[in-house]
Amino acid sequence: MVTVRDVAAAAGVSISTVSRALSAPGMVAAGTRDRVAAIAEQLGYQPNRAAASLRAGRKGALGLLVPDLANPYFAAVAKGVAERAREHGLGVFVVDSDEDPAAEVDLLRHLVHQTDGVILASPRAIDADVDVIGPRPVVVVNQDGPLAVVTDTDGGMRLALEHLRGLGHRRIAYVGGPASSWSDARRRGALREAAATGADVVALGHYPPTVAGGAAAAVAVAESGATAAITFNDVVAVGLVRAVRERGLRVPEDLSVVGWDDTYLAALASPPLTSVGSDLREVGRSATDLLVARLGGAPGAREVTVLPGTLSVRDSTGPAPR
C-alpha cells in the first residue's frame, strides 16, 4: 500500500506537504503541488479514508435511508444522491428499511455513526428521533424538518386540477394514500384550498399505496360521481385503471386518471399515465447539496428547498364524458 510517506520520499518533501498538496492545494507552492500530484498519481497513491476520517473526524460519507429501494420513486432519488455525492467526493451508505418503520430508528442509529450526515427519504419516519441523530445534520425529503427538500404539492395539485377542468371535468376525486403520509396530508390541504375557491373535489381514502389499493378505490370513485380521479401515486393509478376496466369502463373515455410522482412506470403503463411529478433525481441532488452545505458549517437556520411540480400529460386523461 502506497502511503503519504512513500509519496513524500519520492517527491523529496515532507509528509505534511504531500497531505496539503492533495487536500488543500492553496497552501502549497504551485510547483511543489504539481510535482507531488504527479508523483502521487504515478505511484497510484490513494489516501486511506479510514485514517483521514479518524484524524479529521469526518467520515467522508453520507447516509441515505429509504423505505424501499425497489420503489421507482426512491430509486430515482437515490440516483440523484449518489450522483451528487460523488461530485462532492463523498461515499453513500444506502440503507433500506424494507418499509418497516420500527426498524428505521435502529438503522438510523447505526447509519448516523458511520456518516457525516444523513438524508431521510422515508415518508413516515422519525419524529422524536432527532436525539438519535445527535449533532449531525439531517435532511428530510417530503417531510417537516429544519433541513428539508419538498416538492410543490400545491402547485402540482393546481396543475392537475387545471388540466382536468380544461378537459371539461367538473367533479374530481382524489384517491388518498396512507394516513401517516405527510405528502397525502399536504395534498388534502391543497384540495381543501381548491374547494374553498369553488372547485367540486372529493377526497377518498385512505388507501394503501399499491395496485390493490387503487383497485379497492374503484367503487368509491364510481360512487363519488367524479369523471376524473387523481391518485396518491402511479402504482395506485395502475390499480385503479385496471379495476375500472374490469367494471367495463374505459380510460380515459369514461374516467380520466392522473397518477402522481411521474415515475417511469407512468410512461410504461397502459394507457401511459398523465402524472403529476417533479424531477426526482433533482430531489436527491438538492437534498445532497443541502446536507453538504451544512456539513462543515454552523448549525444554521431552517432551510427548505421547494422543487416545482410538473404535469406530464399522456393518454390516461381525456375530455369529460358527455
Shortest Å, Cβ 117 to its own copies: 15
Q: Which helix (H) or strand (E) holds 130?
A: helix 130-133
Residues 39-68 that bind DNA (CB under 7 A): 45, 47-48, 51-52, 54-56
Under the binding rule (CB under 7 A), the answer on residue 38 touching DNA is no
Shortest Å, Cβ 119 to DNA: 24
Give the Cα separation of 24 and 136 in Å (integer): 24
Cell of 241: 385503471
Under the binding rule (CB under 8 A), the answer on residue 266 touching its own copies is no
Strands 200-204 and 171-175: parallel
Under the binding rule (CB under 7 A), the answer on residue 267 touching DNA is no
Which member of 17, 67, 72, 290 binds its own copies (CB under 8 A)?
72
Binding site partner of 75, from its own copies, DNA, none, Cβ cut-off 5-8 A by kind = its own copies
Give the Cα separation of 156 and 173 in Å (integer): 15
Cell of 293: 452545505
Give the Cα separation of 149 and 120 in Å (integer): 10
Please count the other Cβ atoms lying within 10 Å of the Cβ belonging to residue 271: 15
Which member of 10, 22, 69, 75 binds DNA (CB under 7 A)?
22
Answer for the pair 255, 244: CB distance below 8 angstroms, yes or no: yes
Under the binding rule (CB under 7 A), the answer on residue 17 touching DNA is yes
Q: Which stretch binds DNA (CB under 7 A): 26-34, 99-107, 147-155, 251-259?
A: 26-34
Under the binding rule (CB under 7 A), the answer on residue 13 touching DNA is yes
Under the binding rule (CB under 8 A), the answer on residue 46 touching its own copies is yes
Q: What Å distances lie between residue 37 and 4, 18, 33, 79, 86, CA to CA?
A: 11, 8, 6, 31, 21
Answer for the pair 49, 72: CB distance below 8 angstroms, yes or no: no
Under the binding rule (CB under 7 A), the answer on residue 180 touching DNA is no
Angle, vertex CA 239, rays to CA 235 and CA 224, nearest 5: 115
Residues 187-246 that bind its own copies (CB under 8 A): 211, 235, 238, 241-242
Sheet of 228-231, strands arranged across: 200-204, 171-175, 228-231, 256-261, 274-277, 310-312
Under the binding rule (CB under 8 A), the answer on residue 94 touching its own copies is yes
Query: What is the per-residue binding string for its own copies in 108-147, x denoting contact by CB under 8 A?
Result: -----xx---------------------------------
Interacting residue ranges for DNA, rule: CB under 7 A: 1, 3-5, 12-17, 19-20, 22-24, 27-29, 31-33, 45, 47-48, 51-52, 54-56
Interacting residue ranges for its own copies, rule: CB under 8 A: 46, 48-51, 53-54, 59-61, 68-72, 75-76, 78-79, 82-83, 86, 91-96, 98, 107, 113-114, 211, 235, 238, 241-242, 264-265, 267-270
